[in-house]
């Protein structure tokens, strides 16, 4: 019996309540901001970074991402809404998980993919597939997310380095990252499409 049908069966006979179903995913963060060249030049310790920590992350996120619900082997649903963009220059954001405790490189990153114009961009990424995901000790949880604006040249293509930086700044974006448990499917009904 697949995980989907197991859940459906348990709902039918009353073994799972609505809160139990909601635990199959949680919103890590939902943020909207305008990012300028000045912001990129002055972000510390690294430029072109937008730092998410403290109250900006869901305070109810799990300490252990492996048990009792396995988010580490699940997926992340990335929803990016590009509200304002100064040009059609190909742009991407790296989305980096900064753990409470790391190993090796000490952090890992997924990304939004390239985009050239305003709009809504969504994708699901396996948590075991992105860059350096094994450098995070998932049993210890996440303390911070770093969002890094880049061009299409690769890992070091930070947008603040561009001589044509006016093609990247200012930009206005909204990011929502939803962590989905292993074996579960992303449920969009819990996401507000209009942020207030």
Q: What does the pLDDT read at residue 13?
A: 42
What's the DSSP call for residue 58?
-
Place of tokens 């305003």: 118
Residues of the chain falling short of pLDDT 70: 1-22, 194-196
The alpha carbon of 65 is separated from its chain's Cα centroid by a whole number of angstroms, namely 15
Q: What does the pLDDT read at residue 58?
A: 97
Q: Smallest Cα–Cα separation from 65: which of 103, 28, 12, 95? A: 28
Name the architecture of domain 25-183: Sandwich (2.60)
How does pLDDT run across 86-117, given as a tens digit for each residue? Answer: 999 999 999 999 999 999 999 999 999 999 99
Q: What does the pLDDT read at residue 22?
A: 53
Q: What does the pLDDT read at residue 17?
A: 42
Element (H, E) at 144: strand 142-150
- What are the domain boundaries of the chain? 25-183
User: What's the rounded Cα separation, in Å, for the pair 150 and 162?
Assistant: 9
How does pLDDT run across 34-52, given as a tens digit for each residue? Answer: 999 999 999 999 999 999 9
Q: What does the pLDDT read at residue 173?
A: 98
What is the residue-wise DSSP string for 176-190?
Answer: EEEEE-TT----GGG
Q: Smallest Cα–Cα separation from 28: which of 50, 51, 60? A: 60
User: What's the rounded Cα separation, in Å, for the pair 27 and 61?
Assistant: 8
């Amino acid at each position: 019996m697949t995980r989907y049908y197991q859940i459906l069966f348990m709902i039918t006979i009353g073994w799972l309540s609505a809160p139990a179903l909601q635990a199959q995913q949680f919103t890590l963060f939902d943020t909207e901001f305008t990012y300028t060249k000045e912001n990129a030049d002055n972000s510390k310790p690294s430029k072109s970074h937008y730092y998410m920590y403290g109250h900006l992350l869901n305070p109810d996120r799990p300490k252990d991402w492996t048990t009792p619900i396995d988010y580490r082997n699940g997926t992340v649903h990335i929803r990016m809404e590009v509200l304002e963009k100064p040009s059609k220059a190909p742009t991407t954001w790296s989305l980096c998980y900064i753990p409470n405790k790391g190993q090796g490189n000490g952090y890992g990153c997924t990304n939004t993919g390239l985009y050239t114009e305003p709009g809504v961009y969504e994708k699901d990424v396996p948590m075991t597939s992105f860059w350096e995901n094994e450098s995070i000790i998932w049993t210890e949880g996440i303390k911070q997310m770093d969002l890094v604006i880049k061009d299409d040249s690769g890992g070091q293509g930070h947008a603040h380095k561009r001589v044509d930086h006016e093609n990247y700044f200012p930009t206005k974006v909204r990011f929502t990252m939803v962590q989905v448990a292993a074996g579960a499917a992303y449920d969009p009904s819990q996401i507000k499409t209009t942020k207030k």
